[in-house]
Chain A
Amino acid sequence: MTISQVSFGSHEPVLDVKDLTVKYIGDTRSTTAVDRVSFSIGTGEVFGLAGESGCGKSTIANSIMRLLKDPAKIAGGSISFGGKDVLAMSPEELRRFRWQDVAMVFQSALNSLNPVLTIGEQIVDIFTTHAGYSRKESLRRAGELLELVRIDPARLKSYPHQLSGGMRQRAVIAMAVALKPSLLILDEPTTALDVVVQQEIMAQIKDLQRELGFSVLFITHDMSLMVELSHRMAVMYGGRIVETARAQDVYTNPRHPYTQALMGAFPPLTGPRVPLTGLPDGVKFRNIPDLTEAAPGHFVAPLGADAAVIDSEDLAGAAR
């Protein structure tokens, strides 16, 4: 059994990423941001991708949407969506693929909304361009959509700056599910929000997911949030996946030292106050090997004597 065959349930995978490698090509040197990453997401599955800033998780999301711009280049591997090769799509196919098949919610809703158009105009835009509805029909659907995320349809006439941060993010989520995509990519959707609002948005995404049955690729650095929402998850470090398993298994039994450090970085809300360690400053893992199956469905990058070098000397490297 390989990693890409494991998914939640027995469904045909919606998304299948194999050996994806993305490089940022510079004039004198290039950096490998994503290094031979493989995973798959089943129908109706919530797959979490955890890791810290710069580990390549957003680069993966952007590669799936084919949003990478120079100097980023997909140097190898394949992405297939429902059997179609995403990397070989023509611009016209891509236009349909985006938003209709895969939609994405970014961290900052303010940046993904057009400040000079009302929320209503922007939702109507989706329906008229992608689904070909009439303006009137689009407007009716836009109202329904806002109701779906519990925003008063009267807000269709509001401009983004007139909405609060949480409302904006919910409006963006409403727009993302407007055309009933089969995969929703959430890139740190609640990082900029307060904890009470975050909880409500996550509950809303859960409800929508149950209702509409789409799959989710959920990207965050908040392990607690991820474990709560995801069925399966992968932990990334330095462009590689170091561990992937069912979210509960990662939570109860993290096997890679990096995963353990990430888990140890979140103090619990209950129980005694025990000292936590986290990852010491400057510690780096290098040459992370391919994953092996440590337990059924639980894949970990092995830590041999020379497989992963823990290096606390190279401080210049740690700064990046």
Chain B
Amino acid sequence: MSHSLTSTVAASATRTPALEIRGLGKSFPIGGLFSRESVRALHGVDLTINRGEIVALVGESGSGKSTLARCVARLEKPTCGAILIDGVDILKRDRFQASRAFRSQLQMVFQDPFGSLNPAHRIEHFLRRSLAIHGKGGGSAEETVQRLEELMTTVGLQADMLNSYPHELSGGQRQRVAIARALAVEPQVILADEPTSMLDVSVRIGVLNLMRKLRDEQGISMLYITHDLASARYVADRTAVMFAGELVEEGESLDLLSRPAHPYTQLLVSAVPDPARAGSYDPVRRAELRQAVMASTTCAFDGDANQACSADEPVRHQVGDPENRHWVRCHLYRPWAGAAGHALAGDPTQPSRPASNAQEEASA
């Protein structure tokens, strides 16, 4: 992969990035036992997360965000590419399965706090086990207890809740326990796959605030996977947009959401309900955006001095100030356009209407 921008980003960081994903690809075989067909869930994903940085990965269901998380967490074996933690390719280091060393560098927080905590155990058990397995409990029993209490305080829970069972806690509190369990290992990177989508709305913001606090106070890096653009903007330093298994745009969160450059990002941003701009939807404009995602024949960045447009290479154009590290993939490069029936394919019978059916076929 010759993405010049990725390498400059890596070089500009003073230290090696906490997590670097290079050219990650994943295909799932489909059809019967002897079928050679496969569906490409991820293709050529390059993503860098620096130390003490939260990067949000947004996209719709089926865009491949969770597959990316599962590949990085080594729950799924990627077809190709490299995953570097601290500059070491962990796919090469632990060839067959994730090692304990890897797990102590990278931890996951899952979507469902009701399913990720065993109901038969007290909260103390989860944290104590994490400490014991990874040898982070300290030398003596007192140190372990002290560490447990520290963890609870860090995630904003009372220490006496260590004796509670999961069913005694609310969803938000359980998700905090799940985060405390991840923190117990003292990881560099936390992968959070939709950590707030199952929580009640009024406690969601508390979990997001906790993520911000962990970044600011402990310098933990996070990959925050979500479909909620507003929350990505709220917690993440940078946001990457995924469509059909590939990254199409990435940049500083505020900049990316105020000036989305890719038609797909524009489509996503325009669909978020926001009372501040109620009634501003223009069906014609949205139909155009859909068309542009699927069959763009022009690129808004045609004539870019740094990167010439190309329909064959995933060229990245810089958007605005280089400070914001905001890039968008050339609109002309559309590998999904060849895949019949995929994604936002326009509805030829109703060109004037928003061609919504095709979109849903893709996301189903």
Binding site for B on A (CB under 8 A): 52-53, 150-152, 163-167, 194-200, 202-203, 221-225, 227-228, 248, 251, 258, 261-262, 264-270, 273, 275-282, 315-316, 318-319
Contact = CB atoms under 8 A, between A and B. Distances in A.
Nearest to B62: A194
Interface string B219-230: 000000001011
Given A150-B353, A319-B170, 20 more contacts: A52-B200, A163-B364, A164-B364, A165-B360, A165-B364, A167-B364, A196-B267, A197-B360, A198-B271, A225-B273, A266-B201, A267-B208, A268-B276, A269-B257, A269-B269, A270-B276, A275-B209, A281-B173, A281-B203, A319-B173
Contacts of B269: 269
A162 B276 CA distance: 37
A284 to B, nearest CB: 10
A151 B229 CA distance: 28
A316 B168 contact: yes
Nearest to B156: A281
Contacts of A282: 170, 173
A53 B61 CA distance: 23
Interface residues of B, number: 57
Contact of B271 (A196, A262, A267): A196
B329 to A, nearest CB: 19
A151 B353 CA distance: 12
A195 B353 contact: no
Contact of B202 (A224, A278, A319): A278
Contact of A224 (B268, B275, B362, B364): B275
A28 to B, nearest CB: 19
A267 B205 contact: yes
Given A150-B350, A196-B359, A279-B202, A269 B233 contact: yes
B4 interface: no
A53 B254 CA distance: 31
B205 A276 contact: yes
Interface string B241-284: 00000000000001001100000000111111111111101010
Contacts of B270: 199
B356 A150 contact: yes
Contacts of B233: 267, 269, 273
Given A52-B200, A53-B200, A269-B229, A200 B276 contact: no
Contacts of A150: 350, 353, 356-357
B60 A164 contact: no
B281 to A, nearest CB: 6
14 contacts: A150-B353, A163-B360, A164-B361, A166-B360, A195-B229, A228-B275, A261-B202, A265-B203, A266-B201, A266-B230, A273-B254, A278-B206, A281-B176, A315-B170
B27 interface: no
Contacts of A315: 161, 164, 168-170, 173
A280 B200 contact: no
Nearest to B278: A228
Contacts, number: 157
B15 interface: no
A151 B269 CA distance: 25
Contacts of A225: 273
Contacts of A200: 271, 354, 356
B363 A194 contact: yes
A222 B273 contact: yes
Nearest to B274: A269
Contacts of B267: 196
Contacts of A318: 170, 173
Nearest to B234: A267
Contact of A268 (B60, B230, B281): B230
Nearest to A266: B230
Contact of A278 (B176, B204, B274, B279): B204
Contacts of A251: 275
A261 B360 CA distance: 33
Contact of A269 (B168, B230, B361): B230
A262 B202 contact: yes
B231 interface: yes
B195 interface: no
B172 A281 contact: yes
Given A203-B281, A267-B231, A164 B170 contact: no
Contacts of A261: 202
A200 B353 CA distance: 11
Contacts of B134: none
B121 interface: no
Interface string B298-342: 000000000000000000000000000000000000000000000
Interface string B158-192: 00010010011110110010000000000000000
B275 A52 contact: no
Contacts of B275: 224, 227-228, 248, 251
B363 A165 contact: yes
Nearest to B363: A194
A223 B201 CA distance: 9
A287 B203 CA distance: 21
Given A200-B354, A270-B276, A319-B167, A164 B202 contact: no
B202 A195 contact: no
Nearest to B61: A194
Nearest to A280: B206
B357 A269 contact: no
A166 to B, nearest CB: 4
Contacts of B169: 315, 319
B268 to A, nearest CB: 7
Contacts of B170: 281-282, 315, 318-319
B293 to A, nearest CB: 10
A52 B202 contact: yes
A278 B229 CA distance: 18
A277 B172 CA distance: 14
A265 B360 contact: no
A278 B227 contact: no
